[in-house]
Amino acid sequence: MRGQIEVFLKYRFLLHDLILKDIRIKYRKSILGILWSVLNPLLMMLVITAVFENIFRVKIENFPIYYLSGAVMFNFFSEATITGMSSVLQAASLIKKVYIPKYIFPLEKALFAFVNFLFSLIAVVLIYLILGVPLHWSALLFFVPSLYLLVFAIGISLVLSSWAVYFRDIIHLYGVVLTAWTYLTPIVYPYDALPAKMQFAMQFNPMFYYVDYFRQVTMYGTVPGLATNLICAVVALVSLAIGLFVFKKNQDRFILFI
């Protein structure tokens, strides 16, 4: 364990440089630059609000905030796992030349997605200001569910990046899974509107807890209790443990398939 920590510390500067490189690449040819990370969720919020409030007649108080607070969390998870899944394959040329701890690549993608998530939170704050909805003091705790989700996403990314080396089709299949997962998470509809059986099934959806936790502290001014924190923490740590186990078990054979 101590040796692994020393290796990580040795390569922490590489991790930092890779994140900066991704930021430069993403915004290099964009006129709006990082501002697009704010405008994109705002534009999506306008479209979703127009559709669900006016066409489907969804009745949720402060629906734009409700949707945006859920969307930024799920988009963070989506970006982290999608980019993390292909990270080892994309780094094939580098892996073949020099020794680098291979987990650095899915970890970097998750951290890069976290940086983009922080930028997107500006959009959430702007909507609060535009609608005149007061921010509660508990909003300062936004980082708690965010960090839980980061750990959970890293674990999923480690598993997916490991599987993608051997089974490239998983890259396409995961897109389908992610779409279904999005609709199975209360982002545009309220949890209370679901029938009892669906509410019970929702208890097995990890994203439900992270999205709901984020809404509780930012939108409703409440702080989830010990039980909710334990669920979020345990799910995140179990995901990370499984991810590390699967990745470590398979990483020595990556070079034969990338």
Write out pLDDT tens, residues 83-97: 999 999 999 988 888
Q: Number of folded domains in the chain?
A: 1
pLDDT by residue (tens digit) across 111-144? Answer: 999 999 999 999 999 999 999 888 899 999 999 9
Return d(Cα 146, Cα 88) in angstroms, integer.
Answer: 25
The overall pTM is greater than 0.85: yes
| Residue-number span of the structural domain to which 125 is assigned | 2-256
Q: Give the pLDDT confidence score for residue 13 in this predicted structure.
A: 86
Show contacts of 175-180: CB within 8 Å, 24+ apart: 175/82, 178/78, 178/81, 178/82
Tokens at residue 76, please? 């963070």
pLDDT in tens, 147-165: 999 999 999 999 999 999 9
CA distances (Å), 148 to each of 112, 118, 154, 174, in order?
A: 16, 14, 10, 22
Under the banding of pLDDT at 50, 70 and 90, the label for residue 29 is: low
Question: Quick one: DSSP state of residue 192?
Answer: G
